[in-house]
Amino acid sequence: MDSPAISFLLAGVVLVSLVGVIYLMIGMKAGARLAVEKYQSRWMAIESSLDRHNPSSWTLAVLEADKLLDKALRERNFRGNTMGERMKSAQKVWKNANHIWTAHKIRNQLAHDTDADISYDTAARSLVAFKQGLKDLGAI
């Protein structure tokens, strides 16, 4: 082979390698695929635990939904030491970031304020937001 052909072949190999590395880096940033069936099963349990006539179920459902969303964020390899930091890292993924942030703030209020109470409607709206967040991450 002559010198131009070798140069052309070498340039092609370098280009293909570069594209492969970029593809891997993007894939690592977005994280691996999630075990959708496992997430769907867990989500259905959370949704069915919400009982209009049992106020303690309202709090527990919000706490569990938030925990499931954080698990999905961690498994998708979003960076951050806290869930809030991971949520910021995933900001471009959310279809409605404000709703997810509001639901997370409600969870924080429930977790940190012993006198915090929420209504059934607030719990249900929070679950809708967490569900959308899980969908946005590809978990359900």
Provide the residue type at 138 as one letter.
G
What percent of the chain stands above pLDDT 70?
Answer: 80
- The band of 11, judged by pLDDT with boundaries at 50, 70 and 90, is low
Q: Tell me the whole-structure pTM to 2 decimals.
A: 0.78
> Which of 43, 62, 68, 103 has its CA nearest to residue 76?
68
**Dist CA 65 CA 114 (whole Å):** 19
Residue in the structure block whose two tokens are 């954080």: 70
Nearest CA to 103 out of 53, 61, 46, 73 is that of: 61
Supply 32's token pair.
């691996």
The overall average pLDDT reported for the chain is: 89
- How far apart CA 73 and CA 83 sit, in angstroms, is 8
Q: In the chain, where does DSSP find H-type helix?
A: 3-30, 36-49, 55-75, 83-89, 97-112, 120-137
Examine the pLDDT at 4 and tell me if it is beyond 80.
no
CA dist 124 → 40, 49, 53, 74, 99 (Å): 17, 11, 13, 24, 12
Q: What confidence tens digit (pLDDT) does each residue in 49-91 have?
A: 999 999 999 999 999 999 999 999 999 999 999 999 999 999 9
Alpha-carbon distance 94 to 89, whole Å? 10
Q: Hunting for tokens 């959370």 — which residue is that? A: 46
Give the dihedral sign, CA 58/42/67/101: negative
